[in-house]
Structure 1
Amino acid sequence: MSNQEQHLKLWTRAFICLTICSFLLFLNLQMLLSSFPAYVKDKFLAGDLTVSLVTSVFAISAIATRFLTAVLIRKVHRHIILFIGLAIATIFTAIYVWADSIGSLLLMRVGYGIGFGMVSTIIPTFVSQIIPGNRLGEGIGYFGLSTSLAMSMGPMIGLNVTKHFGFGSLAMIGTVTVLFIFPVILLSRSIPPGLKKQAAAGGVPSPKQPFNKKLLFPALLNVCLSVTYSGLLSFIALFGESVHLAQVGLFFLFNAFTIIIIRPISGKLFDSKGHAAVLIPAAISVFTSLLILSYATSMPMLILSALLYGLGFGAIQPTIQAWMLRTTPKEQHGMANSMFYNSTDLGVAVGALMLGAISSASGYGMMYRYSSLFMILFLVVYVFVEFFNVRKQAEIPNVPTM
């Protein structure tokens, strides 16, 4: 097979459309999520712990929904689940502005989490079925670029729209963003080959797959990374106010710049050298970024922190996802994707609550220093487990072949 044929096989219309859908979904999420802390503080006079609940209840509901979706897809056609999830996410995005209390807003966040959890399970499962096996790291790298770009551009857009036009305008933009997913999905005209038989049978399930314990280790690493991201998402706007950085939203712009650069490189590096070549330097980059951010009082320091965080975050996330997919057969890709996104949301939920408590007691600078320690934990756990695995492999005797 020629390189050109491989390229065409990866960059199909279905792959491109599903990648765009993922970008729009996460853009909607990140635009609103980044603006909720300041909005909730201003409208409901809430403290940092209450603000962190807005992030945490969404993440918890998304996690629970993904487990239910994993059961549901064995009984219901996946496209039906996808469109129901999109409809739920659209409705709850549109009605955020009607919340008149913390309680009602939290209920809406739970509803949105349900819709988001359904869609964010189905789309990556479709994508993982259509990426050529020998280009899995590269394909997930490009697909994951949609998520990372949304995670970088969304907060910047959300903070600026809220600042100049108000939260109501942002909710309307978010609603339109989700609505755009419907025609793009239809444009893809795609049911991945491995799912055509199931679709023709009306969604009749394959036998239930046993849980793959190999997913737990990379999922734990992703939790550590996601804790650090929750601190940025939930509190960087408030941090900017505390140190008088008016354009703190630029963090996400420069973060996006290095993510765009590193994503394709890290995917190819994973395919050729394995995850260690990517994860160790990337984790050091994230740690350094958060340490610089914790002391930032000027735009150059903020920009340097953003560039380093983008390099690390943009390399780690797709590598972990590709690693999880590579350790599972195709029929378990739904499980692997669910574990990946659940570990992301778990890290965001735990991080929002934990870092919210730290910021209330010690301030935002100290909070980011504590947040950086999760990348030290990341490195220690990773190196220890990999060293143990290498020793275990070395102890297996070579059995001569006859």
Structure 2
Amino acid sequence: MEESRGTTKEMPQEKLWTKNFIVLTLCNLFLFMNLQMVLPALPSYVKDHFHASDVTASLVTTLFALSAIVSRLIAGQALQRGKRNLVLFLGICIALLATMGYYWCGTIAMFLLMRVLYGIGFGMASTTFPTMTSNVIPFKRMGEGMGYYGLSTSLAMSLGPTIGLALLASGFGGLVSGATFMVAIILPMLLLVAPLLRTPPQAAPATGHARKLFDRKLLVPCLLNFLLSIVYGGLLSFMALFGKEVGIANVGVFFLVNAVSVVLVRPLSGKIFDKKGHGALMFPGALLVILGLLILSFSKGLLLLSAAALIFGAGLGALQPSFQAWMIKVVTPEQRGMANGMYFNSIDLGVALGALLLGTVAMNTGYAMMYRLASVIMVVFLIVYIASLAGNKKKPLPIR
């Protein structure tokens, strides 16, 4: 049977924590730390330095995300043609130069151009790392492996803003230097996986499943990830400004507590996903996100802010890793690059739209009310998921 062929191949590779897996996971951590350190800090900087409106400040996030989406589509095709190393190193170098370029921007137009360039580089690198990682994880441990790998992204999403806002408080130059270091350190780290990089990547066949740009099985997890990312984009982009509105000096505490919550929940959610499927995580995860947003919107001090962060982080830690494992498991091995690209594109598109949409809402209602209204998006999330289950009562989580 087909299983025997897969079993003999997987036996010597059953170990998950190989050097390649660890190094690639750390590289991904540093890449996303670079992103998340500047993501909540830049809108605040742009408002103060360039006297920009909320909508203009939201373009700092929106233009980056849109350029990353386009970049990933192109990078995904290049990866399928076996251009892995070119895509990876070019992406890292562009992201590095654009990060350094923030400091020298004298106009808002030049600053936004740097964000577009950064999105191009980030899109290329962030598509390559998970595709390489999924190829060094034994198939039978794919859910567990991608769960741990994805923890690097969640950690960065939680710790990065805390560090970024702290560095911004000491000056914009400190923020740029710290963010530059995070992406620069990736280059020497890749020397540790030089044998892997020297192995020629397989180009996908010119026809068939491997060259599909999208698979219908990815539609529901993509849409759900997109809706969650709209909420997260608004939360991330305007947290510093929300703190000013309600008089909380150190809103970075939110991201620190959020990080602890994500770290505690994520390994558990990965095991629950492997045993019970995505249905066991979607409902509680969405409800926790809604509760976290509502508590956040009423926060006037660090106690409620920390409670909101703990609850929101638990929801985020349950949902996000489930989406990536779900998407990788429902496609063939040749389609993993496409699945990873769609996973990150749904995040970027959601963050881009969330910053723009919720920034417009905040301009008319204030940031506290904006977070309350954002919880309605998670209600839509639950409606979409319930509708998908009703429309597909067969197997909710096909393995192949």
Please give the TM-score of this superposition, normalised by the length of structure 1.
0.92
Three-state SS of the structure 1 residue aligned to 2:39 is helix
In the alignment, the residues of structure 2 paired with residue 346 and residue 179 of structure 1 have an alpha-carbon distance, to the nearest angstrom, of 26
Give the corresponding residue for 1:296.
299
**Residue pairs, 1:19-34, within 5 angstroms:** 19-34=25-40
Structure 2 CA distance, aligned partners of 1:37 and 1:344?
19
Conservation of the 8 A alpha-carbon contact between 2:37 and 2:164: yes
Q: Which letter maps to 1:207?
A: A
Aligned residue for 2:373?
370
Is 1:162 the counterpart of 2:165 in the alignment?
no
Q: One-letter code of the match for 2:205?
A: S
Does the Cα contact within 8 Å between 2:292 and 2:311 map onto a contact in 1? yes
Provide Cα deviations, 1:99-147, integer angstroms capped at 9, x if missing partner: 1111111111000000000000000001111222222221111101100
Cα deviation digits, residues 245-278 of structure 1 (max 9, x gap)? 1111100000000110111111111111000101
Deviation at 1:8, TM superposition (A): 6.3
Amino acid paired to 2:183: V
Q: Residue 58 of structure 2 is aligned with which of 44, 48, 52?
A: 52
Contact 1:14 1:189 (8 Å CA) reproduced = no
CA distance in 1, matches of 2:235, 2:190: 31
Deviation at 1:174, TM superposition (A): 1.0
Contact 1:135 1:271 in 2 (8 A): no
Question: Could you list the per-position Cα deviations for residues 197-243 of structure 1 after superposition, in whole angstroms to 9, with x for gaps in the alignment?
Answer: x53xxx64433423311111100000111011111211011101111
- Note the C-alpha offset of 1:315: 1.3
The percent identity for this pair of structures is 49
State the distance in 2 between where 1:353 and 1:204 align.
Answer: 38
C-alpha deviation, 1:190, in angstroms: 4.9
Q: 1:271 to 1:393 in 2, by over 3 A?
A: closer
Deviation at residue 62 of structure 1 after TM alignment = 0.1
Q: How does 1:197-216 map to 2 (within 5 A)?
A: 198-199=200-201, 204-208=203-207, 209-210=211-212, 211-216=214-219
Q: Deviations over 1:175-204 (max 9, x none)?
A: 111111011122123539xx94x53xxx64
Which of 273, 278, 286 pairs up with 2:276?
Answer: 273
8 Å Cα contact 1:139-1:267 kept in structure 2: no
Q: How many residues align?
A: 383
RMSD between aligned residues:
1.8
Contact 1:14–1:190 (CA<8 Å) still a contact in 2?
A: no
Aligned to 1:114: 120
Q: Which of 111, 125, 140 is the aligned partner of 1:134?
A: 140
CA-CA distance at 1:168 after TM superposition: 1.3
Structure 2: gaps of 5 or more residues = 1-6
CA contact (8 A) 1:126 1:191 kept: no
Q: Is the 8 A contact 2:28 2:129 kept in 1?
A: yes
**Any conservation in 1 of the 2:76–2:338 contact (CA below 8 Å)?**
yes
Alpha-carbon spacing, 1:393–1:282, altered in 2? closer, same or farther (3 Å): closer
TM-aligned CA deviation for residue 95 of structure 1: 1.1
Following the alignment from structure 1 to structure 2, what is the Cα–Cα distance between the partners of residues 77 and 370?
44
Residues 1:332 and 2:335 aligned together:
yes
Say whether the 8 Å CA contact 1:136–1:271 is kept in structure 2: no
Aligned with residue 178 of structure 2, among 167, 173, 179:
173
Q: What corresponds to 1:253 in structure 2?
A: 256
Task: Identify unmatched segments of 5+ residues in structure 1.
Answer: 395-402
1:242 aligns with one of 219, 242, 245: 245
| SS of residue in 1 equivalent to 2:206 | coil
What one-letter code is carried by the residue in structure 2 that aligns with 1:85? G
**Cα pair distance change 1:6/1:264, threshold 3 Å:** farther
Say whether 1:229 aligns with 2:232: yes
Question: CA distance change for structure 1 residues 329 and 299 in 2, over 3 Å: closer, same or farther?
Answer: same
- State the one-letter code of the partner of 2:149: F
Shift of 1:73: 2.0
Cα distance in structure 1, aligned partners of 2:80 and 2:225: 27
Q: Could you tell me which residue of structure 2 aligns to residue 74 of structure 1?
A: 80
One-letter amino acid matched to 2:68: A
1:189 is matched with 194
Distance in 1 of aligned mates of 2:274 and 2:13: 15
Counterpart secondary structure, 2:326: helix
| More displaced stretch, 351-360 vs 229-238 | 229-238
Structure 2 equivalent of residue 400 of structure 1 = none
